[in-house]
Amino acid sequence: MQLPIYFISDIHLMLKSSQDEHVKIQKLFQFFDFVSKSGGTLIIGGDLFDFYYEYPYVIPKQYFEVYTQIYQLQKSGIEVHYLLGNHDYWTMDFLSNKLNMIIHEDDMDFEINGKKFHLTHGDGLLSWERGYRTVKTILRHKFFIWLFRWLHPTIGYRFAEWVASRSRHFEHSEEHNEKVRKELMRVATPVIENGIDYFLTGHYHQHTEEKIGNGTLIILGEWIKTFSYAVFDGEKLELRKFS
């Protein structure tokens, strides 16, 4: 990986156009341009798309501009890593073969300049998400994915859009957010105590940094209202907002 390393998560690009979606996409493209000019590596921590599913000969056409921008980002020399999230796990080979994205189906662990990183999308980490963890296992099972592909794409995408709409809980009370932060600190603590310097997670739509012993928990935020990202320059990692 080349420095600097940029981390973003939870953009949730929608299958349907709207004015808010247009604003989000333009800001995302400005960020891509910013990364392209600085050089380095981009790591997307999941849920780039609010829903993404590939059939052998079909991909969502709504994201055409995004595909193009990512391809141009790669052409400019930026290495793009994509850790799949709970909204966009079901990829085949288009993103990797045509856009040259490096796809990670599970958590990422890597070391650079003596700093150790652990990146997870974060869904299913909380102690009270036992039921969700069961559902996650089913949705990621190869048999389920194979079975879903027998649906006609029009039916499949409409059904998935309905399912995705039921999981768009983007805003929570401060009491809930604090409960999540404390639980994520509990989850991150043994990982950091095992030698990890930075534990990064998406999914929870919080823009938060918490020191834990000699390490740091980073919750990467989202690109719906906050437009946040983290950057590692080779010495330290900072959580920022893009403007």
Residue 165's pLDDT is 67
**pTM (predicted TM-score):** 0.91
pLDDT at 2: 93
DSSP assignment of the chain: -PSSEEEE----B-SS--HHHHHHHHHHHHHHHHHHHH-SEEEE-S-SBSS-B-BTTB--GGGHHHHHHHHHHHHTT-EEEEE--SSS-B--SIIIIIS--EEESS-EEEEETTEEEEEE--TT-STT-HHHHHHHHHHTSHHHHHHHTTS-HHHHHHHHHHHHHTT------HHHHHHHHHHHHHHHHHHHHTT-SEEEE-SS--EEEEEETTEEEEEE--TTTT-EEEEE-SS-EEEEE--
Provide the pLDDT for residue 17: 85
Q: What is the b/e burial string over 112-149, where b = at least 16 CB atoms within 10 angstroms of the residue's CB?
A: eeebbbbbbbbbbbbeeeeebeeeeeeeeeeeebeeeb
Classify burial at 189, counting beta carbons within 10 Å of its beta carbon; exposed 0-12, middle 13-18, buried 19 or more.
middle
**C-alpha span between 31 and 227 (Å, rounded):** 10
pLDDT for 142 equals 86
Give pLDDT, residue 146.
Answer: 87
Class of domain 5-241 as given by CATH: alpha beta
Please report, in tens digits, the pLDDT of each residue of the chain (243 residues total). 899 999 999 999 988 888 888 999 999 999 999 999 999 999 999 999 988 888 888 899 989 999 999 999 999 999 999 999 888 888 889 999 999 999 999 999 999 999 999 999 989 888 888 887 888 888 888 898 888 888 888 888 887 777 666 666 666 778 888 999 999 999 999 999 999 999 999 999 999 999 999 999 999 999 998 999 999 999 999 999 998
Q: Phi/psi at 163 (nearest 5 deg)?
A: -65, -45
pLDDT at 150: 87
Amino acid residing at 85: G
Q: What local confidence, expressed as pLDDT, does residue 164 receive?
A: 65
Burial label, 194 (beta-carbon count in 10 A; 0-12, 13-18, 19+): exposed
Residues 104/157/32/237 CA torsion (nearest 10 deg): -40
- What is the Rg, in whole angstroms, of the alpha carbon atoms belonging to the chain? 17
Contact criterion met (CB below 8 Å) for 179 and 100? no
The residues spanned by each domain of the chain are: 5-241
